């Protein structure tokens, strides 16, 4: 399982400093939607410049204007962009086409995506599918538990790549591992930890098949 570090509600320099602390224990770097909204594509450019060998995901959460958003993200250095699973089909397909042109990838964020739409999206085998408990659901509706039952059997065959995001902790990571998730997207549990390097080390140890013992 890969670890994607989600960087949200930070300045660009804080994001770079924090990533340096945990760099060896994370696989992918997510330039969070909040950074993109606050600092624009500069945040993607700066993160790629600071970490040229890491995969950079720009969490654009594209809902419309796919060609434009994909273009500015890929040319800024993003290796992966996100599009919402409940966006019009043409928006999702355009993101996929743009990614193929730039030889990059797309993560489809399945927040509020109907099962009918999901079924039709599963034909896109080179996309990454992301199960997501939103910040608002976590903070305002009290939904913050990941269970194996949340990873419906209808999801992908082994040929699909599946990610999960939203309030993931060491405990829920075990559930996600058992559920066959390929990429765990972890934000606050690392970025807000008292010791981010130690938190990232524990997540990575577990994600790479080790057993984490909470002493």
What distance in Å separates the CA atoms of residue 36 and residue 176, rounded to the nearest whole number?
28
**Residue 85 in contact with ligand LJD2ZHX5, rule: CB under 6 A:** no
**Residue 8 in contact with ligand LJD2ZHX5, rule: CB under 6 A:** yes
What distance in Å separates the CA atoms of residue 53 and residue 171, rounded to the nearest whole number?
30
**Residue 134 in contact with ligand LJD2ZHX5, rule: CB under 6 A:** yes
In the complex with ligand LJD2ZHX5, the residue whose CB is nearer, 10 or 92, is: 10
In the complex with ligand LJD2ZHX5, the residue whose CB is nearer, 55 or 97, is: 55
In the complex with ligand LJD2ZHX5, the residue whose CB is nearer, 15 or 116, is: 15
**Residue 144 in contact with ligand LJD2ZHX5, rule: CB under 6 A:** no
- Total residues at interface with ligand LJD2ZHX5 (CB under 6 A): 18
The C-alpha angle 15, 18, 19, rounded to 5 degrees, equals: 80
* Closest C-alpha to 158, from 117, 118, 129: 129
**Residue 55 in contact with ligand LJD2ZHX5, rule: CB under 6 A:** no
Let me know: does 4 contact 184? Beta carbons within 8 Å: yes
Binding region for ligand LJD2ZHX5 (CB under 6 A) out of 43-51, 98-106, 161-169, 203-211: 161-169
Q: How far is CA 133 from the centre of its chain?
A: 12
Q: Applying CB under 6 A, which of residues 59, 73, 161, 199 lies at the interface with ligand LJD2ZHX5? A: 59
Residue 3: CB atoms within 10 A of its CB come to 22
213 phi/psi in degrees, rounded to 5: -105, 115
- CA distance between the termini of the chain: 23
Interface contacts to ligand LJD2ZHX5, rule CB under 6 A: 6, 8, 30, 32-34, 59, 134-135, 165-168, 185-189
């Amino acid at each position: 399982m890969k670890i994607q570090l989600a960087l949200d509600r930070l300045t660009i320099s804080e994001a770079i400093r924090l990533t340096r602390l945990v760099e060896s224990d994370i696989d992918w770097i997510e330039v969070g939607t909040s950074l993109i909204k606050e600092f624009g594509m500069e945040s993607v450019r700066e993160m790629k410049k600071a970490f040229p060998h890491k995969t950079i995901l720009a969490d654009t959460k594209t809902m419309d204007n796919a060609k434009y958003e994909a273009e500015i993200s890929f040319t800024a250095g993003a290796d992966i962009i996100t599009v919402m699973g409940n966006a019009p089909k043409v928006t999702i397909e355009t993101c996929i086409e743009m990614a193929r042109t730039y030889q990059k990838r797309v993560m489809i964020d399945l927040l509020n995506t109907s099962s009918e739409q999901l079924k039709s999206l599963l034909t896109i085998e080179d996309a990454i599918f992301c199960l997501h408990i939103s910040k608002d659901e976590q903070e305002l509706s009290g939904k913050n538990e990941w269970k194996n039952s949340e990873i419906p059997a209808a999801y992908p065959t082994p040929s699909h790549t599946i990610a999960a995001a939203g309030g993931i902790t060491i405990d829920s990571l075990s559930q996600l591992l058992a559920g066959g998730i390929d990429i765990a997207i972890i934000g606050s549990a690392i970025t807000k930890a008292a010791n981010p390097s130690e938190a990232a080390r524990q997540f990575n140890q577990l994600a790479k098949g080790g057993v984490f013992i909470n002493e």
